[in-house]
Amino acid sequence: MVEPSAMLADPKGLIAIGAGIAVGLAGIGAGMGEQTIGAAAVGAMAEDEKFFGKGLLMTVIPESIAIFGLVVALILLFVF
């Protein structure tokens, strides 16, 4: 016979799952954005090397979304 308290999930485990989803989905979203921008940046750079700096900057802009995901994950893990 299982104790009723044991059937309740550990809240820490749920928080960890939430943090994982936050980082994971944010990463996928950032990757999808970077895919298009990266392809365009490489195209522009192939024509003119001067686009390297601008292309690199543009490519990493969606990376902020991944950082938002990371921040949410850290809040979940350390604040709650």
Partner 1 sequence: MGISDGFKYAYIVARVRAMKGKLIPKEMYPKFLNMEIPEITRFIGETEYKKNVDELSKKYSGTDLFEHALNENLALTYRKLLDVSQGEANFLITEYLHSWDIWNIKTILRGKFSGASEEEILEDVVSAGQLRYRDITEIVKIDSVEGVIAAFAGTPYYHVLQEYSGDLADIENKLDKMYYSSLLKAVSSTGNKLFLKYLRTEIDLINLKLLFRMKRGGMERDDILKMLIPGGFELKETDLNRLSSLSFDEFVRALEDYSYWKAISDVSEDLSSLFNVETRLDKYAQSYITSISYYYPLSILPVLAYIISKKIEIDNLRIVVRGKETALKEDIIKTHLVM
Positions touching partner 1 (CB under 8 A) are 32, 35-37, 39-44, 46-48, 51
Scan for tokens 């936050």, then name that residue. Answer: 22
Contact residues for 42 (Cβ-Cβ < 8 A; gap 6+): 55
Long-range interactions of 37-40: CB distance < 8 A, separation 24+: 37/61, 37/62
Tell the smallest beta-carbon distance from residue 11 to partner 1 (Å). Answer: 36
Tell the smallest beta-carbon distance from residue 42 to partner 1 (Å). Answer: 6
Please say which residue, 20 or 53, places its beta carbon nearer to partner 1.
Answer: 53
Please say which residue, 12 or 54, places its beta carbon nearer to partner 1.
Answer: 54
Please say which residue, 34 or 73, places its beta carbon nearer to partner 1.
Answer: 34
Contact between 16 and 78 (Cβ < 8 Å):
no
